[in-house]
Amino acid sequence: MIVVESCGWLEYFSAGPLAEKYYPYLKDTARVIVPTIVIYEVYKKIKREAGEEKALLAVAQMQSAVVAPFSSGVVLLAADVSLANNLPMADAIVYATAKIENAKLITSDEHFVGLDLVEYIQ
């Protein structure tokens, strides 16, 4: 199982410069775990830039993956991870979800460089 961070989904949906690198991870959503905070971030950005209809279509595709709830276990681990690694809240939640699920985190966000379970895409 893998967790694809918000930047990966946004690259994929916008056909950005890294979209082709994210495609192999996102073509089979049955093996993708989506933290609810990622749905929030992707929906918000797409709605602001492309409108509600496109944002809802993106969310529908994301919900075909395994949606990981924002549980108290994730909250506590995210706080610890944030303190230990100086991660912003949303990044800490995503990383904590990957750790709890023992999933590889796929990202282009430099905040995650050097952390275990992370595959960084340049």
Is residue 82 included in any domain, yes or no? Answer: no
Instruction: Give this prediction's pTM.
Output: 0.94
Is residue 16 included in any domain, yes or no? Answer: yes
Is residue 27 included in any domain, yes or no? Answer: yes
Is residue 26 included in any domain, yes or no? Answer: yes
Work out the number of other CB atoms within 10 angstroms of the CB of residue 83: 10
Domain CATH code at residue 46 = 3.40.50.1010
Give the dihedral of Cα atoms 68, 70, 75, 77; nearest 10 deg.
0
What is the total count of domains within the chain? Answer: 1
Domain that holds residue 59: 2-69+104-120
49: confidence class by pLDDT, cuts 50, 70, 90: very high
Confidence at residue 13, expressed as pLDDT on a 0 to 100 scale: 97
What is the per-residue pLDDT across 55-102, written as a single tens digit (0 to 9) for each? 999 999 999 999 999 999 999 999 999 999 999 999 999 999 999 999
